Amino acid sequence: MKSDRPVYLDLRRIRQPVPAIVSFLHRVSGAFLFLCIPLLLAVFEASLAGPDSFAATLGNPLIKLALFILLAAYFYHFFAGLRFLLLDLGWGAALAQAHRTSWAVLAAAACGAAALGAWLW
């Protein structure tokens, strides 16, 4: 008897809805921020050695890029966390609202990252 089940999963054909992507990225950004705490503490310690060290640390383009990536991940994690807090309160659980709030999280994080990039550079 031949089965109609797929033999393998083609991951390029599976399309997740936007709320699922926002949820996955929220977890990834949280893990990324947690794992980058030692790097952030090392940069902070290097910047506190003196005024010249502070200027040299924040003048380094790699440090600025790392700071931008960390703060952009923080903005995303913050806005997605607010969305999940509202979901816990019962607001935005309907499918249409979930799509709108997911797109709002992505837009707010992009605007925050753009403002952060303009401020850093």
Instruction: Give pLDDT, residue 49.
Output: 87
Domain residue extents for the chain: 18-35+61-120
What does DSSP assign to residue 1?
A: -
What is the C-alpha separation between 115 and 23, in angstroms, rounded? 24
What is the C-alpha separation between 88 and 20, in angstroms, rounded? 16
Task: Give pLDDT < 50 ranges for the chain.
Answer: none
**pTM exceeding the 0.75 threshold for the entire prediction:** yes
CATH class of 18-35+61-120: mainly alpha
Instruction: Give pLDDT, residue 1.
Output: 66
What is the C-alpha separation between 70 and 103, in angstroms, rounded? 21
In this structure, which amino acid lies at residue 42?
A
Phi and psi angles of residue 98, each rounded to the nearest 5 degrees, phi first: -65, -40
Instruction: Give pLDDT, residue 115.
Output: 96
Instruction: Give pLDDT, residue 32.
Output: 97
